[in-house]
Amino acid sequence: MAQQSAQHSARAAENAPGGDGSSRVLGWATGAALLGAFLIYNSVDASEAAPPPAAAVVAQATAHAAAPPPVSAAPGLPASRPTLLTIPDIGVSAPFTPLHIGTSGKLDPPPSDNNNLAGWYAEGPTPGERGNSIVAGHVDTKTGPAVFFLLSMVKPGATAEITRADGVIAKFKVDSVETFSKNNFPDQRVYADTPNAQLRIITCGGAYDHSKKDYTDNVVVFAHLESSRQG
């Protein structure tokens, strides 16, 4: 813990006004097409907390990159915006904020002043609806670990539940958790439309590149709708 605090302090100083990180911009690059734009979750306003656990699992996760997504037996739900994400295995319980493509052509990130906030791509399918719903959030910020700091520790078979505005709780089963280099990100595999209700949860991972003020990789959770219930 002392080492992690020291590391966090170092990057916090880097990001202090007037420091090297004072003009840092959150970069969310766009790729081919997901309802007009593929999202590649790029840099976050990261702090010098210890590198996220993803750094230790890059090789293992990449080895499973070719695994096809399963077909869900649960029927898709009507459209309804998400309000709360829970991932019990890593202690996540976070409200949602909608994310949109900004005037720059990039997806606007969640606010960096709230470490416990998940974003969802509002122009895509809502979680539980047929198709591929995209959820993204910070791994950390300059104030410390954020909502998806432990995302790479999620295991296949784990569950993620999303409460929706219509009161329905959509339960997703995790199929795989994989890490991809941002220089070789598989847009089509991550963002392509699906015939059933699926979920992608995305954050940064890998090593932190101080020269670019960005993480080198993305952690992606692949999941499918397993069931739903009225909350």
Residue reference for tokens 């890059």: 58
| Predicted local confidence at residue 36, as pLDDT | 29
**For position 54, what pLDDT does the model report?**
43
Alpha-carbon span 203 to 67, nearest angstrom: 20
Domains assigned to the chain: 2-7+49-230 (2.40.260.10)
DSSP 24: -
Which residues are bridge partners to 135 per DSSP? 120, 201
pLDDT score, position 107: 78
Q: State yes or no: pLDDT of 4 exceeds 70.
A: no
State how far the alpha carbon of 120 is from the alpha carbons of 216, 220, 226, in Å: 22, 14, 19
Query: pLDDT tens digit string along 159-191?
Result: 999 999 999 999 999 999 999 999 999 999 999
Average pLDDT for residues 34-62, to the nearest whole number?
Answer: 41
Classify 57 in phi/psi space as left (phi over 0), alpha (psi -120 to 50) or beta. Answer: alpha
Q: What is the pTM of this model?
A: 0.74
- What digits encode the pLDDT tens for the residues 56-66? 333 334 434 44
Helices (H) and strands (E) in the chain, counts: 3, 10
Q: According to the 3-state scheme, what is the secondary structure of 133-182?
A: EEEECCCEECCEECCCCCHHHCCCCCEEEEEECCCEEEEEEEEEEEEEEH
- Mean pLDDT for the chain? 77
